[in-house]
Structure 1
Amino acid sequence: MRIVKTIFHGVGVLTLTVLAGVAIAGDDESGAKATGADTTGVDARGAGLETAPVSYHEVEREYRLDGVVEAVNRTTVSAQTQGLVEEMFYDVDDFVERGSVIARLRDTEHRARVAQAAAEMKAAVAQLEQAREEHRRVKGLYQKKTASDSEMDKAAAELKSAQARLEATQAALEQAQEQLGYTLIKAPYSGIVNERFVEVGEMVSPGKPVMTGVSLEKLRVSVDVPQSVIPAVREQGAVRVFAPDGKPVETGAITVFPFAEAGSNSFEVRVALAGDHPGLFPGMFVKTVFVTGEDTELTIPVEAVVYRSEVTGTYVVDDKGRIGFRLIRVGRRLNGSLRVLSGLTEGEQVALDPIAAGVALKDQSAARAAARSEDHG
């Protein structure tokens, strides 16, 4: 009994005849040759086809884990002075530029303190000028021997006292101005508001949280890595990150925490993201691939693999030039090649142009059929 299996090619419909009862090979990590769906044996030459050998290559050993995107800069902005909240300029999910005022406190009392400190400083300046004039006058008399030592000492002491008073009033004015500035609560960096803790009309005191925001300019990925893999991660120091859509994300430095988490015995590893990363936001899951060493893998060029619905195969050319279509199983991509799980063995030649190979196989089949007709004739 024979089964006729139809494979669709870009050049038309090609019918492959396979022996019944031959099973498709299962998962074979060693890349052993599959025994099913093999049409090698057509009596013709596969001349003119460019081929490549199925061969072993040194490839990176990988360990794949899910990671979570985090914001490097995540800050809770708090009040630094006491006051009544008069205005809130942003809410949750609003984008805030660095230095923008996010809230304003009532500043009447603070302005009064600034005015008082400024007045005291003005008085201190006048007193210092008066003390200087007195010091110059007494010093002149002292040089003429008409002022006593005690008068000279008193004038010098009053000058120093006036200078100290001026410095004190200057410090008081600066402090009052600083407190006045704190009535305008500003964003420390550009980012998005994700929490708001106060409303207009509330009284806040120093340390009271006002808003929490995150910056999207600097992101990182946090991954919990099993302790068995950590030595290789430390040694290799290489990782690749892929966004949810499968696109690679540029990475920077890797930070491995020096201790394991209690309970899970896993280490937190942080991977800095470099460059622009549109579409990534804190809290999203991404795929991470850590390089943990090297392995030897049986590979086949990507262009030699044919995908037809649920069928994956390749055209094999034997040492006599005969072409056959072989069902195979492939794994991950390895720099222009695919890992061979089953269906091929090392040294076999595969056609790099599946369309041309399909045409050649069809011609071989036709030639064989014609030869049989002549024999029966």
Structure 2
Amino acid sequence: MNDADIKIKKISLKYILILILGVICLTALLLVTSPKNEPELREIAATQVVLQPIVQQLIQPIKVVSGHLQPVRSSALSFELSGQVLARHVEPGSRVNKGEILITLQRGDQQDALAEAKAQLSQEHKAIERDQRILKLISENRLLQAREVMRLEQLGQKSLASRSMRDNANQLLIQQQREEEQLKYSVGTSKARLELKRAAVRRAERNMARTVINAPYSGIINAVYVEVGDYASPNQIVVELLQLKQLDLNLDVNGATAATLSLQQAVIVTINSEPHRGNIIALQTSPDAETFTHAVRIRLDGSGLQAGAPATAALKLKALPNALVVPVSSILYHNDERFIFIAEAKALRRVAVTLSAREGQLQVVNGEIQAGEMVVARDVAFLTDGQSVVHD
């Protein structure tokens, strides 16, 4: 590299440094002379709310509880003895009357046992009649023999012949007395023996009756579990019978609800969107040890209804004559607390309340509130205490 090239390189470097310095100075001058923009504070617009007055009125609380209809009576019937099924007289869905035969077992052994018991009773009757006749005869003979003994004793004490005859007569008298006592015992116990035979007959008749199952009440056959020829064992369920003339709705309610109910209280039960009238026939006073609920039973006329159908009962609770009510949508739920917002001037006041009964879209509340105060009716989830609001 010659001297000319070195001189040109030095001059280029000098201009570059001057250019960079000029740019820095110009940037600094712009920063210093630029106007400062102050942030503009804008006032937050007031929230538009809808208000409704707190109303004091009579409230009739309704507790709606659901369940399923059940038969008033349901019986699982079985035989008390074992045997082979002879006849099946009904099928599921059959309507039967009280006393109607449902299932029959083979009864040959029971018929023979009954015939034997009756025959033994008849024999006992005849035997007792015979013993009574014999007792009468032997009693007469004993009296005659006693007279004969007395006659022989009067013939003389020194005659050997008369003494021998007297001893024989005494032995015969003793024998007749023994037979008389035996017959007296037999006749005296005749009532007890007859009762034993009659008991055997009654037992055989009961066993005969146990070979059939009769309907204990009028109803509908729900199921039959045996066929002809099957062997049925004692306590084996063979047929199920339902009584559907009336139906029950069994419910579980809490203690507060149970305290306001009473026996024979009328209740409207909705089944398939149709109302039906029922009455409370059972109300458990002490709660269940596990669920702490009270059992309630409502009875309805079963006409046109079917067991197992879902149903809802509207239970009328104790009336509240001067209840303060607000719209359900005005309640703010926060953790375990409940609040409403009262509009005062142009700001809100958040008030803690406790909830009571509910009727439709109206909620009974208690707290530091008065009737006539204006409460925010809806959209309360994002409201705060002291917030500015506007309303119509």
TM bucket normalised to smaller: 0.5 to 0.7
Instruction: Mark the CA change 1:30 to 1:132 in structure 2 (over 3 Å): closer, same or farther.
Output: farther
Q: Establish whether residue 265 from structure 1 lines up as the match of residue 292 from structure 2.
A: yes
Alignment of 1:68-83 (within 5 A): 68-83=68-83
Q: Establish whether residue 117 from structure 1 lines up as the match of residue 99 from structure 2.
A: no
Partner of 2:257: 229
Aligned length: 256
Separation (CA, whole Å) in 2 of partners of 1:100 and 1:237: 34
Measured after TM superposition, the shift of residue 133 of structure 1 is 1.2
Instruction: Mark the CA change 1:191 to 1:30 in structure 2 (over 3 Å): closer, same or farther.
Output: farther
Q: What letter is aligned with 2:312?
A: K
The equivalent position to 1:243 in structure 2, one of 267, 270, 273, is: 270
Separation (CA, whole Å) in 2 of partners of 1:184 and 1:128: 36
Alignment of 1:305-344 (within 5 A): none
Separation (CA, whole Å) in 1 of partners of 2:130 and 2:246: 57
**Superimposed CA distance per residue, residues 27-54 of structure 1 (whole angstroms, 9 cap, x where no aligned partner):** x6945xxxxxxxxxxxxxxxxxxxxxxx
Q: What letter is aligned with 1:277?
A: G
Q: Establish whether residue 256 from structure 1 lines up as the match of residue 281 from structure 2.
A: no
Q: What letter is aligned with 1:222?
A: N
Contact 2:278 2:298 in 1 (8 A): no
Q: Secondary structure at the match of 1:72?
A: strand
Separation (CA, whole Å) in 2 of partners of 1:69 and 1:29: 43
Measured after TM superposition, the shift of residue 240 of structure 1 is 0.9
Instruction: Mark the CA change 1:249 to 1:140 in structure 2 (over 3 Å): closer, same or farther.
Output: farther
Alignment of 1:1-377 (within 5 A): 30=54, 58-141=58-141, 145=146, 149-233=177-261, 238-244=265-271, 245-256=273-284, 258-260=286-288, 262=290, 264-273=291-300, 276-296=301-321
Say which is worse superposed, 252-261 or 128-137, in terms of deviation: 252-261
Q: Secondary structure at the match of 1:233?
A: coil
Measured after TM superposition, the shift of residue 59 of structure 1 is 4.6
Contact 2:71 2:307 in 1 (8 A): yes
Q: What letter is aligned with 1:110?
A: Q
Separation (CA, whole Å) in 2 of partners of 1:82 and 1:60: 59
Instruction: Mark the CA change 1:79 to 1:257 in structure 2 (over 3 Å): closer, same or farther.
Output: farther
Say which is worse superposed, 218-227 or 155-164, in terms of deviation: 155-164
**Superimposed CA distance per residue, residues 328-361 of structure 1 (whole angstroms, 9 cap, x where no aligned partner):** xxx979xxxx9999xxx99xxxxxxxxxxxxxxx
Instruction: Mark the CA change 1:133 to 1:30 in structure 2 (over 3 Å): closer, same or farther.
Output: farther
The TM-score with structure 1 as length reference comes to 0.59
Contact 2:77 2:239 in 1 (8 A): yes
Contact 2:117 2:201 in 1 (8 A): yes
Separation (CA, whole Å) in 2 of partners of 1:125 and 1:29: 97
Measured after TM superposition, the shift of residue 79 of structure 1 is 0.5
Contact 2:59 2:359 in 1 (8 A): no
> What's the C-alpha RMSD, in Å, of the aligned pairs?
3.3
**Superimposed CA distance per residue, residues 242-261 of structure 1 (whole angstroms, 9 cap, x where no aligned partner):** 23133231325232253326
Partner of 1:306: none
Q: What letter is aligned with 2:228?
A: V
Say which is worse superposed, 219-228 or 95-104, in terms of deviation: 219-228
Say which is worse superposed, 276-285 or 189-198, in terms of deviation: 276-285
The TM-score with structure 2 as length reference comes to 0.57
Q: What letter is aligned with 2:265?
A: A
> Percentage identity across aligned positions?
18
Considering only CA atoms, is the larger Rg found in Structure 1 or Structure 2? 2
Measured after TM superposition, the shift of residue 98 of structure 1 is 1.3
Q: What letter is aligned with 1:203?
A: Y
**Superimposed CA distance per residue, residues 170-202 of structure 1 (whole angstroms, 9 cap, x where no aligned partner):** 111111121112212111111122222222111
Partner of 2:42: none
Contact 2:270 2:313 in 1 (8 A): no
Q: Secondary structure at the match of 2:136?
A: helix
Measured after TM superposition, the shift of residue 60 of structure 1 is 2.9
Partner of 1:307: none
Instruction: Mark the CA change 1:138 to 1:248 in structure 2 (over 3 Å): closer, same or farther.
Output: same
Q: Secondary structure at the match of 2:99?
A: coil
